[in-house]
Amino acid sequence: MQVSDANRLGIGCMRNCVDDLLILRRFDLCGRPDRAPVIRSVIWSPPAPGWIKVNTDGAALSSPGVGGCEGVFHNCRAFVKGCFAVPLGQVFVFEAELLPASMTINFAW
């Protein structure tokens, strides 16, 4: 069995990067690139007058891994009223996504 024959047995996908492509070509293999992500249009709308809207996000490199979170406060005219960015250290992915919500409540009080 040659390397090119084993290519048909594989189930994994290559990352969409030049390095992976060069390695595959070196062994005369076909690449199976990941599917392109679905692009969706998202429209942000400001809050009602007298209200403040906060947009938060958190992420971790792996689970557990080094993570961080951030948030931005906007008024009804879409002006930034405040923001925060916090390193979280070693966290699980779900912690990195949930911690900004609790931090937002603390910052808002």
Profile the chain (109 residues) by mean pLDDT over runs of 10 residues: 50 66 78 73 91 93 90 94 93 90 85
Residues 22 and 64 in one domain: no
User: Does the residue 92 lie in any domain?
Assistant: yes
pTM for the structure as a whole:
0.60
pLDDT at 30: 72
At 39 the pLDDT is: 79
Give yes or no: residues 57 and 100 share one domain. yes
pLDDT at 1: 46
User: Any idea what the CATH number is for the domain that residue 70 is in?
Assistant: 3.30.420.10
Distance between CA atoms of residues 47 and 74, nearest Å: 8
Query: What's the pLDDT at 26?
Result: 84
In a domain, 85, yes or no: yes
The closest of 109, 100, 55 to 78, measured between CA atoms, is 55
Nearest to 100 by CA among 65, 42, 57: 57
pLDDT of amino acid 10: 56
| Residues 91 and 66 both lie in one domain | yes
83 domain-assigned: yes
Tell whether 32 and 61 lie within a shared domain.
no
* Number of domains forming the structure of the chain: 2
**For residue 48, is it within any domain?**
no
- Supply the range of the domain harboring residue 59: 53-108
